[in-house]
Amino acid sequence: MARVVVNVALKPEILDPQGRAVAGALGRLGLSGVIDVRQGKQFIIDLDGELEGERAELMKKLAAELLSNPVIEDFTLTVEN
Amino acid sequence: MIDSVDAAKVNPDTSQPWAELGLKNDEYESIKQILGRRPTSSELAMYSVMWSEHCSYKSSKVHLRQFGDKAPKTDALLVGIGENAGVVDIGAGWAVTFKVESHNHPSYVEPYQGAATGVGGIVRDIISMGARPIAVMDPLRFGPADAPDTRRVLPGVVAGIGGYGNCLGLPNIGGELVFDESYLGNPLVNALCIGSMKHEDIHLASAKGVGNLVVLYGARTGGDGIGGVSVLASETFDTDGPAKRPSVQVGDPFMEKLLIEATLEVLHAGLVEGIQDLGGAGISCATSELASNGEGGMHVYLDRVLLRDASLSPEEILMSESQERMCAVVTPEKIDKFMALCKKWDVEAVVIGEVTDTGRLVIEWHGEIIVDVPPRSVAHDGPVYERPFHRPSWQDALQADAPTPERLARPSTPEGIKQTLMDLISSPNLASKSWVTSQYDRYVMGNTVLAQPEDAGMIRIDEETGLGVAISTDCNSRFAKLDPYAGAQLALVESYRNISVAGAKPLAVTNCLNFGSPEDPEVMWQFAQATTGLADACLELGIPVTGGNVSFYNQTGDTPINPTPVVGVLGVIDDVDRRTPMAWDEDGDLIYILGETFDEFAGSEWAYLQGHLGGLPPKVNFPMERLLSEIMVAASRDGMITAAHDVSDGGVGVAITEMALRANKGARFWIPDNIEPFVFLFSESTARAIAVIARTEELRFTEMCAARGMSATRFGVVDSGLGADSGYPGQQVIVVDSLFTFTIDALREANEATLPALFGG
């Protein structure tokens, strides 16, 4: 079994209003020294068998085009086989 | 290594990426001539964005002058073309400002954010005039409804408009949704905003008073949309689709809401000498425009700008299109109060410079001068092109291919006519738009009187007197393709009529002119024809253009979109309680068609459904449009009519269906004498409206029409009891004598199922 973890976040140059709102709230709730917050989402995908070959390529393509919006988001993909 | 003015003098021959920034060789040479040296990289960045088509109107300027030159005399215009938005006097000390802008290309790249920031941008235009935004509206155009790219773009655009507008708490009161092959790969996302204010609150974008301070406030500056203006808005998309694009602007509507409140409070407190929103071209645009409209000079310390990303270079800061930012000019005595109000609204603000009388816009970066230019040369004296244009070679053949009965078979049997009506009302262009409009908040703020699907959106301005405004946008781009001169006029008269049938008096015009590449002489001909047509029509109708927006380069590959001059008309109504709704109500009320119906099918919805486009569009008749408008406004004011609806897309057949659906009450119709049923029901002749009259008012109404020379023909009566006799007991039905009977439920199902089936939910 393979576990694929895809982390998706806005590209660093893109404004993240939700992250900014969280940063403001953290400060108001007493956490000092908050410089910035960026938020994103995580997909955990469990698969039968090893992820390799064409299936690995397809997984990567789908992470880039389905799970993330390539225009404004970056993703990282890690596989635990 | 910072490229300073000194460095530019020392290294005059450094090669510069002017072509990559979208400048032409002669434009680059003329910058060198203005400066007497090569520009610094920061100056080059500024000139390149400010001289882009989007900011400089370099191809359209010579044609747009007609709107000023041919402007009808009017006292209604308080602020005319050239400011952020025109301002119209609506009486009782109130003024209204409104404007429509395009956000086509950003919305194609990233539908949600592109459409959202389109709303944000037009709202800032309105607040920078000193007005409180009170409503928005979005004319939208996409490729075929079933095309995969439409499914990618449309839901995101609608969600973006809804998301941003709803967060701001602004009602979205109308707009358009049109599908046509020509927009495949180049959708049109236009955004309109209306604001209201008292006369004394009008503010202008100018930096007056030497020594006054220039304040940048709102969101921090980041890498959003760098190069967006010149790259996104002024270059045609290649066919590779939306990847590898420059960074997209992301909007933050909650920040915008704070910006609205902070801006209106500092304006009303009298703390501001001049104000400008930051849109395309960001700080470059705001500083150069403020300076050239005021004392003529400004000194800016660019390193004081608050940044979201500390690694931005000065060139990038100058070009950044980060959203939710404003620039104000404030006297030194009032700066503390200004800053305190910004703090109150949790809006960051920083003094970035001061007004000078040197005639130069000087920008410093950590002690080095990186920009030293005459601001007018950046903001107003950009290149002006007299682009060559000629009538397209295909135009004559297109116009000759009229949809005559011989060319395009028409239904002649009752079944055929019945099916035609069903096909029309379930076609994506005429189907119920509630899938879209239910995602928008239409009634927030509690002043919405009329909203989609009514002919016009109507908003109450003064809660004491009921004074209100109505607004509508229209364009049938197929008409404009057949004849761009007439097409622009047809857009205007339809919008003008929509305002009038709601009971409001048309006052002023805005426009959003969406065309292909101005470098294509055939497109330029369309543009020249459309602007001339619109200017001539405004003169005929006696309402001025208050401002607008031009969007060129709307094409995929070499294929331009249909010319799409979207026209918005604003009207005033003394008391919104006197408005005319489109739904009939009382049994026995009589249904009249005003105006004459001719055999005019070129560019019609019916012809479009048959896959035909050719011939000459319906004739425009200005005297009849004016008369119809006067009659509709008078009849509304004097309480003679109970309902009315404009006749346009899909003709009388579609108009009566829309009224019945809105009323949820049946009616019986008959075809007037001496006209073929098909022509009467589906022709799109202009200067027509349907009016519903109480029996007690019939004589007064018909006498008024007869005295003024308006054709008025009775062709129906409201009747909620037709179900039993026509085989649908207990149901509301529409009967057209000897042709067909429909239950309203069946019509509704056909009308409402289309968009959800295409776009889900």
Q: Is the pLDDT of residue B271 over 90?
A: yes
Would you state the pLDDT for residue A80? 86
Q: For the residues B676-699, what does the mean pLDDT come to? A: 97
Determine the structural domain holding residue A65 and report its residue range. 2-80
Q: Let me know: does B291 contact B375? Beta carbons within 8 Å.
A: yes
% of chain B at pLDDT higher than 90: 81
Mean pLDDT of B322-326: 93
Quick one: pLDDT at residue B427?
97
Q: Is the pLDDT of residue B622 over 60?
A: yes
**Residue among A12, A20, A72 minimizing CB distance to B248:** A72
| Closest residue in B to A70 (Cα–Cα) | B243
Confidence of residue B229 (pLDDT cuts 50, 70, 90): very low
Write down the mean pLDDT value for chain B: 92
Q: CB within 8 A of B699, min separation 6: which ones?
A: none
Classified as helix, coil or strand, B386 is coil
Q: Give the torsion sign (CA, B256, B450, B514, B156).
A: positive
- Rounded to the nearest angstrom, the minimum Cα separation between A2 and chain B is 30
Residue B392 pLDDT level (bands cut at 50, 70, 90): very high
The tens digit of pLDDT for each residue in B441-462 reads 999 988 999 998 888 999 999 9
What pLDDT shows up at residue B227? Answer: 56
Closest partner CB to A17 (pick from B245, B252, B309): B252
Residue B54 among the catalytic residues = yes
Whether residues A21 and B254 touch (CB distance < 8 A) is answered with: yes
- Predicted interface score ipTM higher than 0.90: no
- pLDDT, residue B241, reads 38
Separation between Cα atoms, residue B741 and residue B386, nearest integer Å:
57
Q: What is the CA radius of gyration of chain A?
A: 16
Task: Tell me how far CA of residue B386 lies from CA of B378, B521, B531, in angstroms.
Answer: 19, 11, 14
* pLDDT, average across residues B253-280: 93
Structural domain count, chain A: 1
Looking only at the bridges linking them, the beta strands covering B325-330 and B505-514 are unpaired
Does pLDDT of B245 surpass 50?
no
Q: Which of B8-12, B83-87, B474-478, B508-512 has the lowest mean pLDDT?
A: B83-87
Q: Are B734 and B744 in contact (CB under 8 A)?
A: yes
CA–CA separation, B509 and B137 (whole Å): 15
- Cα angle B491-B150-B444, degrees, rounded to a multiple of 5: 65
pLDDT over threshold 60, residue B198: yes
Name every chain B residue with its beta carbon within 8 A of the beta carbon of A14: 222, 224, 247-248, 250
End-to-end CA distance of chain A: 6
* Chain A residues touching residue B109 (CB < 8 angstroms): 71
The pLDDT of residue A12 is: 83
Residues in chain A where the model's pLDDT stays below 70? none
Residue among B138, B194, B188 nearest B162 (CA): B138
| DSSP code of residue B232 | I
Predicted local distance difference test score (pLDDT) of residue B235:
43
Active-site annotation holds for B103: yes
- Say what the pLDDT of residue B228 is: 44
- pLDDT for the residue numbered A14: 83
Per the rule left: phi > 0, alpha: psi between -120 and 50, beta: everything else, B324 is: left
Per DSSP, the three-state class of B129 is coil
Residue B242, pLDDT score: 35
CB within 8 A of B696, min separation 6: which ones? none
Work out how many CB contacts closer than 8 A connect A with B: 44
| Upper half-sphere CA count for residue B562 (Cβ side, 13 Å) | 27
Bridge partners for B513 per DSSP: B550, B565
Q: What is the pTM of this model?
A: 0.92
Helical axes B148-168 vs B744-759, angle rounded to 10°: 100
B410 falls in which pLDDT band (50, 70, 90)? very high
Is the alpha carbon torsion for B111, B116, B117, B118 positive or negative?
A: positive
- Long-range pairs of B463-467 with CB within 8 A, sequence gap ≥ 24: B465/B92, B465/B574, B465/B575, B466/B574, B466/B575, B466/B576, B466/B577, B466/B578, B467/B90, B467/B91, B467/B92, B467/B94, B467/B572, B467/B573, B467/B574, B467/B575, B467/B576
Q: Which residues of A touch B254 (CB under 8 A)?
A: 17, 21
CB B666, CB B723: distance < 8 Å: yes
* pLDDT surpasses 80 at B756: yes
Task: Find the closest chain B residue to A72 by CA distance.
Answer: B248
How much is the pLDDT for B532?
97
The answer to whether residue B338 scores a pLDDT higher than 50 is yes
Is the pLDDT at B243 greater than 50? The verdict is no
CATH of the domain at A73: 3.30.1280.10
Q: What is the pLDDT of residues B159-189, one digit of tens each?
A: 999 999 999 999 999 999 999 999 999 999 9
Q: Give A-chain residues touching B251 at CB under 8 angstroms.
A: 15, 17
Read out DSSP for B640-691? -EEEEEE--TTHHHHHHHHHHHHHT--EEE-PPTTS-HHHHHH---SS-EEE
Cis geometry, peptide bond prior to residue B453 (ω within 30 degrees of 0): yes
Q: What letter represents residue B630's amino acid? A: E
* Domain boundaries along the sequence of chain B: 580-761
pLDDT band at B247 (very low <50, low <70, confident <90, very high): low
Lowest mean pLDDT segment, chosen from B63-77, B149-163, B174-188 = B63-77
Contact, B591 vs B716, CB < 8 A? yes
Across residues B47-70, what is the average pLDDT? 91
Q: Please give the Cα distance from B370 to A55 (Å, whole number).
A: 53
pLDDT digits 0-9 by tens, B50-59: 998 888 999 9
pLDDT digits (tens, 9 = 90+) for B469-503: 999 999 999 999 999 999 999 999 999 999 999 99
Contact A71 B223 (CB under 8 A): no
* Model pLDDT, residue A48: 93
CATH classification of B580-761, choosing from 3.40.50.2300, 3.40.920.10, 1.10.3720.10, 3.90.650.10?
3.90.650.10
**Partner A contacted by B148 (CB < 8 A):** no
Q: Kindly determine whether residue A13 and residue B224, on different chains, have CB atoms separated by under 8 Å.
A: yes
- Residue B294 pLDDT class (50, 70, 90 cuts): confident
Distances (CA, A) of B274 to B213, B293, B306, B355: 10, 10, 21, 11
